[in-house]
Amino acid sequence: MSQRTHRDNRERGLSLFSFFHFFLLGLITKLYTMNNLTPFHPHDCENCTHLESMSQDGLNYDLYFCTQGYDDEPYCHTVIARFGEHGDYRSGLEFSYKGPLKEAAMLAIEAGLLDHEVWANLTRR
C-alpha cells in the first residue's frame, strides 16, 4: 500500500471514531438528562415516566409519558405537559403536534416508549 492509502485510511478511521464518539456522548447525555432531572412539580401517577423538565413561554413544564389505562393498547397511552403547582397540565397525543406536548412525544419516541407510527396516526386527524 502507498503512504497516501495509509493516510486516507487513518483519516477515515479517525472520522468514523469521531462520529461514534460524538454519537455515544450525545446518547449518554440524553439518557442522563432523562433519568436525572428533577421535576418542577409533584406528580403521583405510577404509570407515568418522567421524560424531561423544561421552561418555555415563562412556564416550567414537566414532560411525562403515561400508560394508564390499557397497557397493551398503545392508542390509549398519552403524553402530559404539567406546568402548575395545582395540577395544571396539558395532555393528549392527538394534540402533540406542537409545543411541549410535541417535545414529550418526540422524547417518548426516542426512548422507545411510543411508536412513531402511533403518534403520526393520532396527530393526522
CA dist., res. 91 & res. 108, Å (int)? 14
Global pTM?
Answer: 0.67
Q: What is the pLDDT of residues 19-70, one digit of tens each?
A: 665 666 565 555 544 444 788 888 888 889 999 999 888 888 999 999 887 6
Phi and psi for 18 in degrees, rounded to 5?
Answer: -60, -45
Is there a contact between 60 and 40 (Cβ–Cβ < 8 Å)?
Answer: yes
